[in-house]
Structure 1
């Protein structure tokens, strides 16, 4: 017998979480909200606002130093905070399920998928043996994993990122929870996988009447998933309301700034709005509004008087602007907007480097047996040709596993290419060693996807930046290097005083600025940027994108921008190359590729992009899943590699790979279905 809806609702009342230390931190302070059965509540805000700590408190999974000081968490009639740890084992994974942000660290690498799902089935549903295996296979099939019976005995490393996230969802659903907490479930996924995972959650929600608390900083995900929205800042909610009302008229100045920071085509050529400063440290007592230090419409009493809740047409907002029936005023022009005007009026940028890549191939041998004989080749990059112009940005887009990062590393000779040619200003770079290779590294630098992993945790920031300068003979004297490092830190928006800090003392956005400063330290002419904004909040992402654009205009730097964020491509890139299974399938100007895509794969990527105008959760099922998964580069399909997933494929597509059809202005597409009449050739 199913429970009534009110028995499945989640109610949080005045929740307070404290982390003990020399100065206790309150990441959650007097938080109250409700998630109704069958509804999704999205918790939105920057990193450091307390979103994930709220979820961990609800699951009673706080770190050792953390404790719940006050408040209540009720799931129906169950008082979650009153349960003993033994009782919580039945609640956690049973009535309350959770999808963690990073599946690679949440799944046990030495246990098969069945062993991990089976633990949940055994504890919460008393299933074992063949019954458990049958149910585990059904769960994998429900989350869209093909051949589920065979995949049960695979280990997590044998799954792609999107597949691992689906396994996490299957585990979370195995206990048939009344309420599901999803913490950034799609942050590291491609646009196609993101769309599939979100629509899967919505369909399962509809079938089960399950409530979802969704934690995210992606406004497109909120628009697609949420029924209700809560904006969190510095441990407190500052705005709540229905999805449609929130996207039509965000009320709080913080909410408005988040919307203004989202990159889009209509902001191309200008600067994105940015929020000055960072989320304040939560180890102090607040007298007034916590957003006052960063607010563009701050008033004299905001810093000393705590704002109360005000109701406007079903929305609730915690802001002095709405006291006594007042209305929010327009934001004042931001510093970044003023800076962008001056940058547009500056002199023409100096010429940078011209990088040409022709027929680049990177094949990794697959060896088996005692004698490690080569039995196959993983064709990670299979004939890529690109041209980077001084002062221009070329975006390389595609799903994870298509070879984008491998291509970037091969261009920089961090991976030795199997074939092909890389030329910088006409000089061939392949096969360089020693001093000749150092000359390439000075002119071509790379900013890696994860700045925390790419910065030495045992070195201070000043030493990290100086290391490359010393190795490549830049600013030879110690005093000159010291002054240059201070100028670089200021240029990327950091204080020279920070040079003595270690990487762990910085936020994610600040670490990415340090990585960019390290790349700039040797005055390169080309920078390869590998997903430099993928894990950043929209506000921090806006700061990095503005900085990169201004540096390009001032220095004439050419960027190869590897990403799956189409909105960022639309804002920053001049040209786009679409990559699929090691090959470029479409190439052209940003305007032509994003506005008039010719290849079916490009259209599939663009159809999967979520925007703030995305259809809401009640339209689930209107957007079909992308057919199939990205094939393995070890055994790519015959003919056009995309034909197993293409609705337009015919016999030609299955028998031979299509040659290029030239579109004019240097663009081309590899597709049999693009005729000469369609291209105007």
Structure 2
């Protein structure tokens, strides 16, 4: 492969175009937001095309302009935003020249959009039928019985059971995965030719994500729709896209076909995104985290926008904006490919310092949980009598040694977070025992429990929601020290806060700021500093990286491993990200409907899962090698058999093995009897009548 020299003046868009006649053709698109003197430029010369039946994935970190590009295409910009240059042509029609009245016919009819968060996109006071009916009436003229029949057909098509009854339900009566399916049904109601999907699976666990992605792929093939997929998940890109555009700081920096991109990404930014992925190959070594942040977009750039974070930067990068260069079938905006014969190179496994090995599991456990139960009563009637119980946690047993990480994995709603809170006595257990360093926590008085609280802390999933918005960062960290009487001296307390902020990668002067002044990754660092302030022995981490980009996730994971080695911390890591589990955890426990169905050393469980549910979880994870047919021999040959349907309600769990309604191997004994624990070699155990 050879590189072209390119022009001295950077091109406003990528030379890579759809190989078929474009359905959507975007050229030189520029968006400004705010004051004319110093506007924010979230989209700054973006160009690409999408053909009918083709998926184009827009990839990049939060803040790089992906979602703003999508909103600009539909002219749904915020009040202070405006399109200042460029063309957007749909089926040859210039959308930027249309009136607002004309655009209402395009939105939902010709181009539909699935937004990132269905909970905020669906109207909470309108039934599903009313919301789908609005689209049907506007774009297809259907009303009354005809509209209801079509709405029911749409819900059937997206896999919602008992669609006729669910039409009259409100959004709050649906699970996260179901709400996302309702959004898809609404988007398809107008029979669009182009679908824009903005992070459609970010908030979903792996099994529901797999179902939604399979649904989108089948509907696209059936209808021949074009699709613009916006995401930062490389696995989802590998699963769905034919072509890819990598976006950074308002502009595209690389485009190309999916297989070429995954075989050998060109731009240093693209390569850093790959290197930051937690994988089996990187286990035992620090992740190649991408330092720094996306630059402010209200400035005038003179050189390459990635220069401040690039490992290959040289003098020209700071002084001259790079032009587009073609390398084989790919295109890249980078000076490294100017006037050279530089070829694309595969991304190699990360190299670096070997991380310290965790203590042996044979060490006396710090945490010992025995048959933990958390049941929530359901009360009805005037006398509020108990009529049923939600068995959120129904007999969980696990152990965790000092300095080790135990991952608790499973679908949303399986009881992971409730178990974590019950272990810390933030939720009162219904039954069972919890021992911390040999001391039983159940039944302790509030005063006795307060004395032990400094030994165990929690890092929550959403750092913004768990940090008091009215308190400065220094006050937030100091609050725990004061409450638990850890450091009575004010000067020493202030010194400890400064040390903690520096240790988690922040500066001491940041203690005077409020939480809203920080990025998501920085807020998670603050939450970790708050947990560390009282010098705990155990930290329960509830999905601490689920809302973070892959680059920020790598920084947080590296930090947690460093702190674990330094302070001999034990982590109970609650997550549904199997990639993070494989890199971070020493042991794993798989939870289904309130019970542990399989547990053991992480390498053994992930390499050869014994329970059908564990196998279904692993099969649901988008695998880059499997999806792109690159290094097929290393993909393990695992069949893509995911769990059908949704998690049953813990209010009325199925008889026998709780997983049998979704299990292909279920027999009569599975329907009648819950399986006993079977101990396997290598410290593993499984609850299954027919372990694999």
TM-score, normalised to structure 2, is 0.93
Q: Hey, what does 2:611 align to over in structure 1? A: 599
1:611 Cα deviation from its structure 2 partner: 2.2
2:166 corresponds to which of 140, 144, 151:
151
1:188 Cα deviation from its structure 2 partner: 1.1
1:624 Cα deviation from its structure 2 partner: 5.3
Is the aligned partner of 1:18 residue 2:32? yes
Q: Hey, what does 2:666 align to over in structure 1? A: 649
Residues in 2 aligned to 1:439 and 1:530: alpha-carbon distance in whole angstroms: 23
1:346 Cα deviation from its structure 2 partner: 12
Task: Verify the 8 A CA contact 1:321 1:328 in the aligned structure 2.
Answer: no
Question: 1:417 is paired with a residue of what secondary structure?
Answer: coil
Q: Hey, what does 1:192 align to over in structure 2? A: 207
1:541 corresponds to which of 542, 546, 553:
553
1:440 Cα deviation from its structure 2 partner: 2.8
Residues 502-521 of structure 1: matches in 2 within 5 Å? 502-521=514-533
Residues 189-588 of structure 1: matches in 2 within 5 Å? 189-327=204-342, 340-341=353-354, 344=356, 354-588=366-600
Q: Hey, what does 1:85 align to over in structure 2? A: 100
Residues 16-55 of structure 1 deviation map (CA, whole Å, 9 limit, x = unaligned): 1111048421111011111111100000011110001111
Task: Verify the 8 A CA contact 2:264 2:344 in the aligned structure 1.
Answer: no
Question: 2:626 is paired with a residue of what secondary structure?
Answer: coil
More displaced, 256-265 or 77-86?
Answer: 77-86
1:65 Cα deviation from its structure 2 partner: 1.4
Q: Compared with structure 1, are the counterparts of its residues 624 and 23 closer, same or farther at alpha carbon in structure 2 (3 Å cutoff)?
A: same
Question: 1:493 is paired with a residue of what secondary structure?
Answer: coil
1:353 Cα deviation from its structure 2 partner: 7.2
Count of paired positions: 663
Residues in 2 aligned to 1:251 and 1:82: alpha-carbon distance in whole angstroms: 36
2:657 corresponds to which of 614, 622, 640:
640
1:616 Cα deviation from its structure 2 partner: 5.1
Residues in 2 aligned to 1:155 and 1:347: alpha-carbon distance in whole angstroms: 50
1:434 Cα deviation from its structure 2 partner: 2.7
Residues 232-253 of structure 1 deviation map (CA, whole Å, 9 limit, x = unaligned): 0000000000001000110000
Question: 1:177 is paired with a residue of what secondary structure?
Answer: coil
Q: Compared with structure 1, are the counterparts of its residues 333 and 459 closer, same or farther at alpha carbon in structure 2 (3 Å cutoff)?
A: farther
1:283 Cα deviation from its structure 2 partner: 0.8
Residues in 2 aligned to 1:243 and 1:323: alpha-carbon distance in whole angstroms: 23
2:645 corresponds to which of 595, 617, 628:
628
Where does structure 2 lack aligned partners over 5 or more consecutive residues? Answer: 1-18, 630-638
Residues 537-582 of structure 1 deviation map (CA, whole Å, 9 limit, x = unaligned): 1110110111111111111100000000001000010101000000
Question: 2:319 is paired with a residue of what secondary structure?
Answer: coil
> Which structure 1 residue ranges, 4+ long, deviate > 4 Å from structure 2?
5-8, 328-334, 345-348, 622-625
Question: 1:301 is paired with a residue of what secondary structure?
Answer: helix
Residues in 2 aligned to 1:82 and 1:368: alpha-carbon distance in whole angstroms: 58
Q: Compared with structure 1, are the counterparts of its residues 663 and 333 closer, same or farther at alpha carbon in structure 2 (3 Å cutoff)?
A: closer
Residues 627-674 of structure 1 deviation map (CA, whole Å, 9 limit, x = unaligned): 221100000001000011111111111111111001144321101113
Residues in 1 aligned to 2:228 and 2:359: alpha-carbon distance in whole angstroms: 50
2:675 corresponds to which of 658, 661, 664:
658
Residues in 2 aligned to 1:589 and 1:461: alpha-carbon distance in whole angstroms: 38
More displaced, 105-114 or 7-16?
Answer: 7-16
Task: Verify the 8 A CA contact 1:296 1:332 in the aligned structure 2.
Answer: no
Residues 75-103 of structure 1 deviation map (CA, whole Å, 9 limit, x = unaligned): 11222122222222111111110000011
1:75 corresponds to which of 72, 83, 90:
90
Residues in 1 aligned to 2:489 and 2:502: alpha-carbon distance in whole angstroms: 20
1:344 Cα deviation from its structure 2 partner: 3.9
Q: Compared with structure 1, are the counterparts of its residues 346 and 114 closer, same or farther at alpha carbon in structure 2 (3 Å cutoff)?
A: closer
1:437 Cα deviation from its structure 2 partner: 1.7
Residues 153-176 of structure 1 deviation map (CA, whole Å, 9 limit, x = unaligned): 111111111111111111111111
Instruction: Compute the RMSD of aligned alpha carbons.
Output: 2.2
Task: Verify the 8 A CA contact 1:297 1:329 in the aligned structure 2.
Answer: no
Where does structure 1 lack aligned partners over 5 or more consecutive residues? Answer: none
Residues 383-417 of structure 1 deviation map (CA, whole Å, 9 limit, x = unaligned): 00111110000000001110000000111111111
Residues 241-266 of structure 1 deviation map (CA, whole Å, 9 limit, x = unaligned): 00010001100000000000000111
Q: Hey, what does 1:673 align to over in structure 2? A: 690
TM-score, normalised to structure 1, is 0.94
Residues in 2 aligned to 1:110 and 1:131: alpha-carbon distance in whole angstroms: 23
1:439 Cα deviation from its structure 2 partner: 2.3
Task: Verify the 8 A CA contact 2:619 2:641 in the aligned structure 1.
Answer: no
Task: Verify the 8 A CA contact 2:417 2:574 in the aligned structure 1.
Answer: yes
Task: Verify the 8 A CA contact 1:7 1:76 in the aligned structure 2.
Answer: no
Residues in 1 aligned to 2:682 and 2:231: alpha-carbon distance in whole angstroms: 40
Q: Compared with structure 1, are the counterparts of its residues 242 and 122 closer, same or farther at alpha carbon in structure 2 (3 Å cutoff)?
A: same
